[in-house]
Amino acid sequence: METTVIIGAGASGLLCGCELAKQQANVIILEQSNKSGRKILASGNGRCNLSNTNLDMYFYNTDDKRIEKIINDFNIKDYFNQIGVLTRQVGTLLYPRSNQSLTIKNALMNNFDQVALIEECQALKIIKRKNGYLV
Ligand SMILES: Cc1cc2nc3c(=O)[nH]c(=O)nc-3n(C[C@H](O)[C@H](O)[C@H](O)COP(=O)(O)OP(=O)(O)OC[C@H]3O[C@@H](n4cnc5c(N)ncnc54)[C@H](O)[C@@H]3O)c2cc1C
């Protein structure tokens, strides 16, 4: 079975890890610092402003159709509900109902039994080989 290596345990890396863990994939996350999800915890003054209901391409400096598709197809409220996070809305802003960004980090890492998260490990080089990549 192939192993997927994710570099960086920020919001992006943890969400990728969360999705791959659902598929029982072999996953290793390398995080250079000793604080996985550091920015998640800092976001929204510790409350994590998950999203905005007023999402529109108008707010992005691109007309990239892929971005437009993500905005139109990905329902962040449903996504977090599915992984156990209840949300609350303040105006157009979406927060975890707990009002704590730690809820988001924990929910993303909830299925990490089979994910190897290695902190204080910086990826220095990625080399393409015949059968994959050497990190
Ligand atoms: C104070 C603050 C408040 C914010 N508030 C909000 C908010 O309310 N709502 C919102 O939507 N966004 C908010 N943001 C922005 C949001 O936090 C970021 O956009 C998001 O967390 C970025 O996630 P990321 O995974 O792309 O990057 P990062 O969180 O930067 O994650 C990248 C990770 O990769 C690691 N890394 C990098 N290079 C290597 C390497 N070579 N080897 C190993 N590890 C490596 C880094 O250490 C880091 O942990 C806020 C940001 C800050 C700083």
Are 17 and 108 contacting, i.e. CB atoms less than 8 angstroms apart?
A: yes
- The number of residues making up the chain comes to 135
The confidence band for 1, taking pLDDT boundaries of 50, 70 and 90, is: confident
The answer to whether the CB of 94 is under 6 A from ligand 1 is no
pLDDT of 11 reads 97
Question: Residue whose CA is closest, atom 23 of ligand 1?
Answer: 11
pLDDT of 114 reads 85
15-68 residue pLDDT tens: 999 999 999 899 999 999 999 999 999 999 999 999 998 988 999 899 999 999
Ligand 1 pocket: which of 15, 39, 122 to mutate (most atoms within 8 A of CB): 39
Cα dihedral 60, 61, 66, 68, rounded to 10, equals 30
pLDDT of 113 reads 86
pLDDT of 3 reads 93
pLDDT of 41 reads 97
Q: Counting atoms of ligand 1 from 1, which one is nearest the CA of 51?
A: 11
The answer to whether the CB of 33 is under 6 A from ligand 1 is yes
> Which residue type occupies 88?
R
CATH, domain range 1-36+109-135: 3.50.50.60
For residue 110, give the 3-state DSSP assignment.
Answer: coil
pLDDT of 111 reads 85
Query: What are the boundaries of each domain within the chain?
Result: 1-36+109-135, 45-101
The answer to whether the CB of 43 is under 6 A from ligand 1 is yes
d(CA 135, CA 126) in angstroms, rounded, equals 5
82-131 residue pLDDT tens: 999 999 999 999 999 999 999 999 999 998 988 999 999 999 999 999 98
d(CA 77, CA 37) in angstroms, rounded, equals 20
Q: Counting atoms of ligand 1 from 1, which one is nearest the CA of 123?
A: 42
**Above 90 in pLDDT, residue 14?**
yes
- Residues with Cβ < 8 Å from 113, sequence gap 6 or more? 21
